[in-house]
Amino acid sequence: MQYVQLGRSGVKVSRLCLGTMNIGPLVDEPLAHAMLSRFCDAGLNFIDTANVYGTWHGRNPEDHRGWTEEIIGRWIKNNPGRRDQIVLATKVYLDIASGPNDRGLSAYHIRRACDESLRRLQTDCIDLYQMHHVQRTTTWDEIWQAFDILIRQGKIVYVGSSNFAGWDIATACLTAKERKMLGPISEQTKYNLSGRVPELEVIPACRHFGLGLIPWSPLDMGLLAGVLKAGQRDRRNHEWVANRVEPLRAKLQRYEDLCDQLGHPPAQVALAWLLHNPVVTAPIIGPRTMQQLEDTLPVLDLKLDEATLKKLDEIWPGPGGEAPKAYAW
């Protein structure tokens, strides 16, 4: 099994991260527990969740916030030996209730949200506590003070970010350095073959400051998983096909034809492409079935040659490089 250091930290994680947003709403608890165990049995150790996961498809958000963390917590309780085998990540920012201080990155909210996540996860420490979004109306002095207290209390080990712009990453890192703190060690961002905007500034910022990149939606909501052959099954309704698939049908056909030539499923090729980027630590996979999880594992042994990478760039061109050269001289 391959393990890499998460950004500039010393902790090592597997090259795939198990995303859990589907656990609860789309994956029931027995299957979720089986998938978590299978993931670990395969030698993988990086599990990501969020305090708001559990809301889906029009459910009342207040009734289901924390549902996913609770399911993971019961798995941890039922498998006590597993906790020390995994790097457990969760997030703070979005609403945990309906009060005026129940979201964001205030010290008030961070403290309360952390305690509630620890309770739901049935653990005494979160390995990677991630800011789910940037909040520019809260000062970094307040944010880093809150995280520093949690670190000193032993409730969290590392801090990460998610959905940050390049300059937010830079600001977070520099203000942490002023306080003699390690600062964020990772950034979760939406990044995949068909959505390469992070190459402009987010990826260069991660490389410069030593953050590991954790791409979410690596298959672009299934678009890169062989959607033309899959048709409209699963969650793909007519509107989704009309709005997402049809405008890209020609590219998707070229892409899926190339995958057929390579002899690998499109989902594996899309993940392997991400793993070729040295800034990428681990794409987040979100299987809804055990078979989807099993079908993903072989990607760890898939290496794409330079000719294939060039063809993928031709089908799914990026923004033209890094800023500012991508749009200036």
> Distance between CA 182 and CA 174 in Å, rounded?
10
Q: Which amino acid is residue 280, in one-letter code? A: V
Strands 3-5 and 184-190: unpaired
* Strand (E) or helix (H) holding 228: helix 227-230
Determine contact, residues 121/69, Cβ cutoff 8 Å. Answer: yes
pLDDT at res. 271: 98
35 and 300 in contact (C-beta within 8 Å)? no
Please provide residue 170's backbone torsions phi and psi, each rounded to the nearest 5 degrees: -60, -45
β 46-48/284-285 pair status: unpaired
Q: What are 130's strand-pairing partners? A: 91, 160
pLDDT of residue 1: 81
Supply the mean pLDDT for the chain: 94
SS3 content of the chain, % helix, strand, coil (to 5): 45, 15, 40
**In the prediction, which pLDDT does 321 show?**
96
pLDDT exceeds 60 at position 61 = no
For residue 232, pLDDT over 80 is answered with no
pLDDT at 93 over 60: yes
Per-residue pLDDT, 59? 53
Nearest one of 129, 169, 274, 125 to 214, comparing CA atoms? 274
- Asked if pLDDT for residue 33 goes beyond 90, the answer is yes
Quick one: how many helices (H) and strands (E) in the chain? 13, 10
pTM equals: 0.94
- Note the pLDDT of residue 63: 60
Known active-site residue 53:
yes
Q: How confident is the model at residue 237 (pLDDT cuts 50, 70, 90)?
A: low
Instruction: Tell me which H or E stretch contains 47.
Output: strand 46-48
pLDDT band at 95 (very low <50, low <70, confident <90, very high): confident
* Mean predicted confidence (pLDDT) in 292-318: 97
Query: How much is the average pLDDT of 144-158?
Result: 98
Domains of the chain (ranges; CATH) run 3-315 (3.20.20.100)
Backbone angles phi, psi at 87, to 5 degrees: -105, 110
Catalytic option among 3, 53, 129, 255 = 53
